[in-house]
Structure 1
């Protein structure tokens, strides 16, 4: 297969004239700014928020480029990784005509974004051990298939996808392959970012919400060829990342050791949590996890979920998701939170014993 970007693009996007913001026309930081109709006297909230932020987040991208070993023009930053997902569909999928392929059980926003954009959805379920089925996926491709979404480590199952299977899809599909690596910082394998030079149709999505602990700031990352990133920048809102968010993310990027420390604590907590769950007769299976959560199989999953809600312990009921019957997903908390969960979880079975 040969990937031709211009043929993939929606025709009107290829000829789109982007909005030119004030900060596009002058990117300097010094001067008398009378171009953007801002309030010159300051902000009503504490701090200096009266000026528009850098629309391309160049300071962040400069630091990220070093950390991720890519060029700045290979980085897109969005309002959460969901913005990158939405923009990819808007750029490449004609509403009412084209389709995407998703691989249940998987992250729900691929389907939601496709529905919002009136893009048809094809589904190829994962194998029983939650792995890709490349032959079946490629057999599902037709002339209107534009994007395949692969979540690795997968949500809600937690496992990494076999890299050889991902490569097989990349090499035999002439559309966009999105590998969503939201949980890659917890995985034993490295990111596929290093493969971007080999595969012009590869897009990697990551996030600051998990390992970096910045979920409230809503900032996601996409890495791809400079050409694909340029298209995302072409169609994004002018100031999609707030100045406050940029400021906080820059501070976080200057403290990478803090991330490693937190990831280490989470992994230790997961190890202990898994060991204790595996020791409970009521848990029929604890699935292998390369993420910061675990998926378990139990009887009465729905009842357990509601019982824990009453105890103000919130987990995710995944029992109605494909291949996840009777399954619950538990995020790894602090040692204290994990212990509270385990105590309440055990208490449920004690109070149901007749």
Structure 2
């Protein structure tokens, strides 16, 4: 059974929109896309539509993730890939996605927008993922199973053996989508290696975190060529603006990679320091172990702590609406100075001393 047998039949049958850039390439006089012949002030080249899948960017990401270029789909962050997967595989009112809360909220949001059911297999009390529990709730109409590793908002990894076991069990039944938005902050192996064995595994990556391009909105899906081609059928004609592509290529250059690597090292060091120092504060109950660029922290009074930080100009993420995290805030690892400021606000006695 092919993974495409799981896709919506109407999506498989659809004739995709053929943009001008897809229909023809090359040439020196461009009169096929109803563009302006004149570039705007300070915007050389912006009068022309960008390539739907910029070859240089696709090639660089393929090299980075260790796959062939036909296994990479670039788009607007990983959010676009999540939405495309749900639309391609889930029939409204019939099919379902499976998630393990507390986890990234966009999986459920995209499913509900599409009219798909959301099945939940909650994480364990320690926020680990129980494969048996997850697989027990897979139904015949489950088309997508999302696993986030490291998980947002808890920061913990799902070990490779568990992911592989889930992949094997879902073969012919559902697509396993492994979200690796925070992978660069770990030393773990990527689930991309499973795609050679399982055509129903897809991996989400992003340049928003370790590559510092949240404002450019560039992400990628890594999957078998058939899945990439299917999603291109329903993708917007020109998903990535030229300036965003240029920013991504610069960030992914040798020079950019050196900077990114150095920042990741700092984040790991500061993560360890913040875990240690936050854990020693009287207002903190516990700091959850994290392999991401953030820490989920349980407080004696999370609402009061949130208000105190906000009053001092420090924004953190309120997790109290998430299941099992009613006393928690998520604190992104910042610069050493920013982290020191958080510690000072939470421990004013030390500052006074």
Taking structure 2 as the reference length, what is the TM-score of the superposition?
Answer: 0.95
Q: Superposed, which structure 2 residues align to 1:1-354 within 5 Å?
A: 3-28=1-26, 30-173=27-170, 174-254=173-253, 255-347=256-348
More displaced, 250-259 or 71-80?
250-259
What is the distance in 1 between the residues matched to 2:179 and 2:9? 26
* Cα offset, 1:279, TM superposition: 1.8
* Cα offset, 1:224, TM superposition: 0.6
Q: Is the 8 A contact 2:4 2:226 kept in 1?
A: no
What is the distance in 2 between the residues matched to 1:100 and 1:171? 18
What is the distance in 2 between the residues matched to 1:271 and 1:305? 22
What is the distance in 2 between the residues matched to 1:31 and 1:350? 66
State the Cα RMSD in Å.
1.6
What is the distance in 1 between the residues matched to 2:119 and 2:220? 25
* Cα offset, 1:348, TM superposition: 9.2
Q: Which runs of 5+ in 1 are unaligned?
A: none
Secondary structure in structure 2 of the residue aligned to 1:196: helix
* Cα offset, 1:347, TM superposition: 2.9
* Cα offset, 1:145, TM superposition: 0.5
Post-superposition CA distance 1:179-236 (Å, at most 9, x none): 0000000012121112210111101001000000000001111101111111111110
* Cα offset, 1:349, TM superposition: 11
Q: Is the 8 A contact 2:285 2:299 kept in 1?
A: yes
Q: Is the 8 A contact 2:149 2:183 kept in 1?
A: yes
More displaced, 4-13 or 120-129?
4-13
* Cα offset, 1:45, TM superposition: 4.8
Secondary structure in structure 1 of the residue aligned to 2:260: helix
What is the distance in 2 between the residues matched to 1:90 and 1:76? 16
What is the distance in 2 between the residues matched to 1:348 and 1:198? 56
* Cα offset, 1:243, TM superposition: 1.1
* Cα offset, 1:44, TM superposition: 4.3
Q: Is the 8 A contact 1:79 1:219 kept in 2?
A: yes
What is the distance in 2 between the residues matched to 1:287 and 1:42? 51
State the aligned residue count: 348
What is the distance in 2 between the residues matched to 1:152 and 1:76? 20
More displaced, 140-149 or 163-172?
163-172
Taking structure 1 as the reference length, what is the TM-score of the superposition?
Answer: 0.95
* Cα offset, 1:6, TM superposition: 3.2
Q: Is the 8 A contact 1:131 1:162 kept in 2?
A: no
